[in-house]
Amino acid sequence: MDTKTKDHTAAAPTLHDETADAEFIRSLGMRVREGRARRGISRKALALNAAVSERYLAQVENGETNPSIMVLRHISTALGFSLMEMLETQQESTDYRLIQRFLEQLSPNRLEDALLCLMREFGKEDASRRRRIALVGLRGAGKSTLGRALSVELGTPFVEINSAIETEAGMNLNEIFMLYGQPGFRRLERRCLESIVAQHEAAVITVGGGIVSEAETFNLLLMNCYTVWVKASPEEHMSRVVAQGDLRPMEGSAEAMEDMRRILVARESLYSKADFTLDTTGRTPEECLALLRQTVTPTT
């Protein structure tokens, strides 16, 4: 009798599979990390919104801790997921696991780029994204001129985000920077971009060149708009700004030109995330508009 009891006890299955549990926690962390990257939310911002420490959130994303159900609820809410979506498991195919392993080897910046590429190539919302055309680049590239002309041709609204920011704040840009500084301006920029995306299914939008320095806002733009980097040589940037009546760049022009070159070099990798690059150097507005029209209205 004792022998049978012992045999039965030895043969009893374990109540849980520790390997499967570890895999689930790891997959859950990856789901959080992917969701954060897809929405362009920094780890610091997500930790703040989910009321957890940034260090603990890093442990969750790396599959190093088993978060409580309330922590998961807070994180899923901050990401815009339902708790069920966060906990949902699925039978992974071999291809899916290979993709997963590949993504795990990428740095956070490269992971962000990979997810952006996947969204653009395979996302169901690509057609609607292409109806919002956003022109980005430094002042003097020709964004406003091209944006207005393109909006007329397409019959869609033309929206300048800097004008929207001034309307939202009830003051001009100089006053905004004086009162709220760069952080305050960037918060208004993000809020206005969210509003523009929500209100316009189709539009031609021009944004300030510095938007690329705010990763969350720039990712929001990339994921919701067909983005065009309107590019020009430093010399043409400078001459066009002066032609617009702004003589400030001429104050110590050699230094201003060097600053322009440094900015273009520093931001090139960010601007190049745009769907299309339009180099306006040496081209007339008519030639640039024809190229822009061709890329935003592809033949089917």
The reported pTM is 0.60
211-250: b (≥16 Cβ within 10 Å) or e: bbebeebbbbbbbbbbbbbbbbbbebbbebbeeeeeeebe
Higher pLDDT among residues 136 and 24, named by residue: 136
Tens of pLDDT, residue by residue over 253-300, are: 566 777 778 888 888 888 988 999 999 888 888 999 999 999 887 554
Higher confidence at residue 106 or residue 288?
Answer: 288
In the chain, beta strands by DSSP E: 132-136, 158-160, 203-206, 226-231, 276-279
pLDDT tens for residues 123-144? 545 677 889 999 999 887 889 9
Q: What SS3 class is residue 13? A: coil
The segment(s) of the chain belonging to CATH 1.10.260.40 are: 15-121
Alpha helices in 200-224 (DSSP H): 215-224
Model pLDDT for residues 178-202, shown as the tens digit of each residue: 998 888 899 999 999 999 999 999 9
- The answer to whether residue 73 scores a pLDDT higher than 90 is no
Rounded to whole angstroms, the Cα distance separating 239 from 126 reads 37
Is the distance from CB of 235 to CB of 208 less than 8 angstroms? no
pLDDT of 94 reads 52
Q: Which two tokens stand for residue 162?
A: 């800097």
pLDDT on residue 95: 59
Give the chain's mean pLDDT: 80
DSSP state of 298: -
What sign for the dihedral angle of Cα 77, 81, 83, 89? Answer: negative
Q: Which residues of the chain form CATH 3.40.50.300?
A: 125-296
**H or E stretch covering 83:** helix 83-87
Q: What's the CATH superfamily of 125-296?
A: P-loop containing nucleotide triphosphate hydrolases (3.40.50.300)
What are 38's two structure tokens?
A: 């897809």
Which range of 28-32, 157-161, 237-241 scores highest in mean pLDDT? It is 157-161
Residue 223: pLDDT band (50, 70, 90) is confident
CATH 1.10.260.40 fits 15-121, yes or no: yes
Q: What average pLDDT does the segment 19-31 reach?
A: 84
Residue 148: the pLDDT is 95
d(CA 222, CA 224): 6
Query: Mean pLDDT lowest for which of 91-105, 160-174, 204-218?
Result: 91-105
